[in-house]
Structure 1
Amino acid sequence: MTLPLKNVHAGVAPSWWPPAPGWWLVTAGVLALVAVGCWLWRRRRRRHAALLRLFDDAVAGAGSPVQQVAAMSELLRRAARRIKPEADRLDGEAWLRFLDDGLKHPAFVHGPGALLGDGGFRPDVDPAAVEALRVVARQRYLDWMRRA
């Protein structure tokens, strides 16, 4: 005896909503990664702004251009200790070469940064030279503080 076969019909395709539990986990993981990334980015920007504010406030708090040069030198020496612990003991040409180490365009031995060598000991310093020094010293300070 043969049984008659009935037509087989394909079932209804599952709906795309609601997604399967695995997709909810994937979505939660991606959102968590995005949230952590945003938090790290924001933290880095705040730290960057705080370092710049610290440098600018210390230099602005110094009265005369000579005192501003001394304040920049002190900040750079503090930052240098984070890179190399004995770097704050360097002086003269060795200190300026250390400041130039790793820069694409050296600015301390033969540039506006050379003022750090003796600018803090002069009776008078050109304010334009101090401003040029401030630009390169600020960038070097920020580089060192972010690296370590």
Structure 2
Amino acid sequence: MQKSSSTPLPLLDVHLPDAPSWLPLAWGWWAVGSGIVLIVLISALRLRWKRKKLAPKKAALRLLDPSFGSQSPSSAMELVRQAAFCYFPRNEIAHLTGKDWYAFLDEQIGRNVFMVNEAQWQQALYKKQTSEQASALVDNCYQWVNEALPPAKRRKEKGGKH
């Protein structure tokens, strides 16, 4: 037998394929990215809407705050009325005065706070109150703004309907 000569064939080196690229992204990554952007956008818009909705309440609380300065009961009640106009329909509360106004305020917080002090409130409009009485009346206004505003989405109307 003859010995075959084994001469190496002139072969090229083995070339590995390129590593897979991140681009173009698969549709799933686009969906995840779009979902994240949508969630961030909705959250930002909701936060902006909530800040805008609560701005009148925060301003009224800041002005009624005892550490900010001493308010007279009549000016505190005026602030309460202005804050109420920001959240309630004008035709619902613009005509309210005296007992009707105090009843409306008590109805919104679910406690009898203003009707009990009706005589003091009426005197506060025309007479100078002692500092203790005045601060108690202003505190009632502060509590009302803090608890009643913004009103609940579904309030019972006079007819019992929602």
With normalisation by structure 1, the TM-score equals 0.58
Identity %: 24
Cα separation, 1, equivalents of 2:133 and 2:55: 25
Q: 1:72 aligns to what? A: 76
Cα separation, 1, equivalents of 2:53 and 2:106: 24
Q: How far 1:25 moved relative to its partner?
A: 1.7
Q: 1:34 aligns to what? A: 40
Helix, strand or coil at the partner of 2:133: helix
From 75, 93, 100, the equivalent of 1:94 is 100
Q: How far 1:39 moved relative to its partner?
A: 4.0
How many residues in Structure 1 have an aligned counterpart in Structure 2?
127
The 5-angstrom pairing of residues 56-135 of structure 1 reads: 56-57=62-63, 68-81=72-85, 82-110=88-116, 115-122=120-127, 124-135=128-139
Structure 1, unaligned runs of 5 or more: 1-14
| Partners of 2:56 and 2:83 within 8 A in 1 | no
- Of structures 1 and 2, the larger Rg is shown by 2
Alignment RMSD? 3.7
Cα separation, 2, equivalents of 1:48 and 1:70: 23
Deviations 1:64-116 (A, max 9, x none): 75xx21212222233444345252332222221111113232321125x7643
From 140, 145, 148, the equivalent of 1:136 is 140
Q: Which has the higher helix share?
A: 1
**1:94–1:46 distance in 2 versus 1, CA, 3 Å:** closer
Structure 2, unaligned runs of 5 or more: 1-19, 154-162
Q: 2:160 aligns to what? A: none
With normalisation by structure 2, the TM-score equals 0.55
Cα separation, 1, equivalents of 2:108 and 2:56: 24
